[in-house]
Amino acid sequence: MSQLVECVPNFSEGRNQEVIEAISGAITQTPGCVLLDVDAGPSANRTVYTFVGPPDCVVEGALNAARAASQLIDMSRHQGEHPRMGTLDVCPFIPVRGVSMDECVLCAQAFGQRLAEELDVPVYLYGEAARTDSRRTLPAIRAGEYEALPKKLQQAEWAPDFGPSSFVPSWGATATGARKFLIAFNINLLSTKEQAHRIALNLREQGRGKDQPGRLKKVQGIGWYLDEKNLAQVSTNLLDFEVTALHTVYEETCREAQVVSRLGLDSLCPFSPKERIIEYLVPERGPERGLGSKSLRAFVGEVGARSAAPGGGSVAAAAAAMGAALGSMVGLMTYGRRQFQPLDATMRRLIPPFREASAKLTALVDSDAEAFAAYLEAMRLPKNTPEEKDRRTAALQEGLRRAVSVPLTLAETVASLWPALQELARCGNLACRSDLQVAAKALETGVFGAYFNVLINLRDITDEAFKDQVSRRQVWCPDPTWGLDLQPQGDCDCPWAAGVGACCLASQAETGTPGPSSPVCLSDPPSHLQPPAGSQDPGCTGAGLPGDPAGVMVPEASPGSVVPPRPSPEGRAVTWVGTQFVHVGPGG
């Protein structure tokens, strides 16, 4: 029976295809070596080669690969997610057939000695080939990685097994050894890199150090993020599957987090999205497909075209949807980061309302245009006979009710977000304060547009019960002293009146402004829309913008609360700025 040894060298290059192929060529051109797999990882910037052959051939193949890499890889310029200390980071030999572990140790020793002599680089022995217990595990040898080598090599306890004790910047150092078959098992997560790594630290045998060992014996682990796949991974190596089984690693990971792995759609047979996903099988509706599925450029182009729809209602919904999306973004920019770890539970509560509202508001972009289209269709109905007139009138009234319901839903959806946005401003990532500003104004714009769309359509509805029901529903503007009273307040003489009828907001309780029953004409905007001349708060500059660069202005439901300047529940102060905003800045 012929002897077979497996060699799995890991080279610190996963992005340059020419270098990857050159190393592959050096292995395949070695007599007796069969290259089984080449696994390149761009995020890790690392390529793992797997090849087999007789012991002497495999040693020669590994040397040929190292010779090629030494001409092509400069470790002083290397960056990647995976821990590494050299151009050829690690080169293990594994018994496959007719070979003992001791013979693989001899392979590692022969390879390490020849590599050190030919390239004049430091080489360490690990695993079954280690000469001391302190070097049995690869993480122990690789501690500090490439950057720590200049000082590490000067320490007597870390003198290499072969080669010089001097630092070689272009190469670094190499570990070679003998081991059993290793199972590389990666679990995909919808999380951040930091969250994945915390899970790995809790599971791997090394844990977080000698005083905090992990739960799983013979398991190595790390958490990282794959940019090319847009997901995080808990990446583990099972050094002995008889000690810790594969399913144990998965179950423990699930226990640590709610893990979402790949769907496995192509596990049993090829999966073609165009053949298996309904949305791909059902053709879209040509030029009339929904506004929400159009590109931003196309949507803006349609808004600016010579047509009544999409109009202000769709634009208001789009603005509000983006405001909600910004709230979600700020939450996600806080969630899962080590410095904000105490806030993870808070962010898990705050993020979903923004995501759900953003999806709902995006759908309203189409709903508003569809409501207007239904009204136009009713306008085109014939009116030659009494029956046709009745049918047309009923259709028009239904269209108007729909045209009122859509913006009213928009306003109420936005109104539900103000408490969450206020709390997010208290404890969210301060680097996102400008995003919170935009979110608040975008949401306010959505409510503002919704209000006028309700008014303009409500006046033509003849169903008094419906009008009364709508007039009793109230949603809040960002200013706590202003509500949107949907009951028309009577006629006014402003230029807007001819176009939209009653266009007034009723003040609820603002000192120095008209009382609750007095109409406030928008040709002279109330203070929550434009601060009165001379009444600007000294903490602000311009039209209500915060002078303090750390400040954030958000809606506030009641004055006098206190919120923190740090991402924690204490220290950031909330103060009134006129009657327009709450200014969130450093507490004092």
CA distance 424 to 328: 10
> Phi/psi of residue 63, each to 5°?
-65, -40
Task: Give the neighbor-by-neighbor strand order of the sheet with 581-586.
Answer: 552-554, 581-586, 572-577
How many other β-carbons are positioned within 10 Å of the β-carbon of residue 165? 13
Buried residues in 379-418 as b, exposed as e (16+ CB within 10 A): eeeeeeeeeeeeebeebbbebbbbbbbbbbbbbebbbebb
Has 368 been annotated as catalytic?
Answer: yes
Tally of residues, the chain: 588
CA torsion sign for 157, 160, 163, 168 is: negative
Q: How far apart are CA 263 and CA 21, in angstroms?
A: 31
Please identify which of the residues 368, 435, 479, 537 carries the catalytic annotation: 368
Active site residue 161: no
Residue 497 C-alpha from the chain's centroid: 46
What is the residue type of 481? T
Question: The tokens of 575 are what?
Answer: 């103060």
Distance CA 54, CA 289 (A): 63
**Which of helix, strand or coil describes residue 399?**
helix
Q: What is the rounded CA–CA span in Å between residue 156 and residue 153? A: 8
Q: Which of 82, 197, 528, 583 is catalytic?
A: 82
Calpha distance 527→513 (Å, rounded):
9
Beta bridge partners of 308: none
Q: Omega into 480 within 30° of 0, i.e. cis?
A: no
Structure tokens, 40: 């390149």
Taking a C-beta distance cutoff of 8 angstroms, is the pair 292, 366 a contact?
Answer: yes
**Positions marked active-site:** 82, 368
